Amino acid sequence: MASRGQSADNRGGRSGRILISLEDLDSMTDDLNSNTVHHDDGEGENERDDGDVYTFWRDVGRCHQVDVPREMEEPIQQMTTNHSQERQAVPFTSLGHNTKADETLFEKRQYEKAKWACVTQYESRYEQSICMGFMKLMKYICQQNSSGLYLGLTLPIVTIVHTNQNRSDLLSEVTTAYYLPAQFQDQVPLPFDAEIVIEEWPAQVVYTRSFNGITNEESILREINQLAEYLDTPELYLLETFVVAGYNNPTVPNRRNEIWFIQRP
C-alpha cells in the first residue's frame, strides 16, 4: 500500500463495462476441478488433460477480451496442481472497529513493513489491466523466479486503484500486488519479468470495510464512497488512492472483499 502518485492518463470513463475480478481469475482454477478431463491409465491413476486446462482459461479470458497466451499453459498447470496448498494470510493487527446497531461500519488495522511483488498496467480496459497483471504475477509465483520454486498464493491479492477528484471514475493505472510469503520476506526470489517490481511497503494503518459479491467498477466506486461517508474525516486518509482486497473462496456467490483507505503518514 505504498503511496503512489496519481495517473495523468484517465483514458475516459468506462461506465457500464463488465469487469473481471481477481477472484474471478482465481475461480478459473477452482472450476478446473469440474472441467478437467481424466483418463484411466489402467492402474487406477487419473491424469489431467493439460490442453483442456489451457483451453478453459483461454475461453474464459476471451469472454473478457483478454488473450491468454500459450506461454501461460505451464503456469496454469502449476497453479492447478498446487491449488490445494494452504494459503498464507497477510498479517495485521486490528486496532478496533466502528459499529452502529450491530453493523461494523469499518475496521482500523495496522499492517507491518513487508515486501510485495507489484505490476502496474495501463490497458484500455480496467479488466484487461487486472488480467494482464495477475497473469504476470502468476508466472512469477509458478517458478519463473530466481529460486525456481513455486512460491504459493497469499491472501488477499490486492489491487491499487486511483480515482478522479470526486471519486466518480477509476483511472487507467491499476497495480496488482502479491504479498511475499513469510519464508521469502528476507530473501526475495527475483522475478524474471522486468515489469514485476519488488517493493517494500512501510508499516501503515488502513481503514477497511468488507463487502460481499462481485467486484466491478460500479461496486468498487460505490464501496469507496460508502466508506468515505462513514469516515467523514478526509484529512485522515489518501483521497484518490485506494486498495481493493480480494479473498477466496470464489465458488461461493457472496465473495468476501474489502476496500482499504490508507491513513496519511
Residue 90 in any domain: the answer is yes
Residue 198 in any domain: the answer is yes
Residue 75 in any domain: the answer is no
In order along its 265 residues, the chain shows pLDDT tens digits of: 655 443 333 333 333 333 444 444 445 444 434 433 333 333 333 344 445 666 766 666 665 566 666 766 666 666 666 555 678 899 999 999 999 998 999 999 999 999 999 999 998 777 778 778 888 998 899 889 999 999 988 999 899 999 999 999 999 999 999 999 999 999 999 999 999 999 999 999 999 999 988 777 888 999 999 999 999 899 999 999 999 998 864 444 577 899 999 999 8
Domain of 141 in residue numbering reads as 86-263
Residue 118 in any domain: the answer is yes
Residue 21 in any domain: the answer is no
Residue 213 in any domain: the answer is yes
Residue type, 237: Y
Residue 53 in any domain: the answer is no
Name residues whose C-beta falls within 8 Å of residue 18's C-beta, 6 or more positions apart in sequence. 64, 127, 216
State the total domains in the chain. Answer: 1
Residue 29 in any domain: the answer is no
Domain of residue 130, CATH code: 3.20.80.10
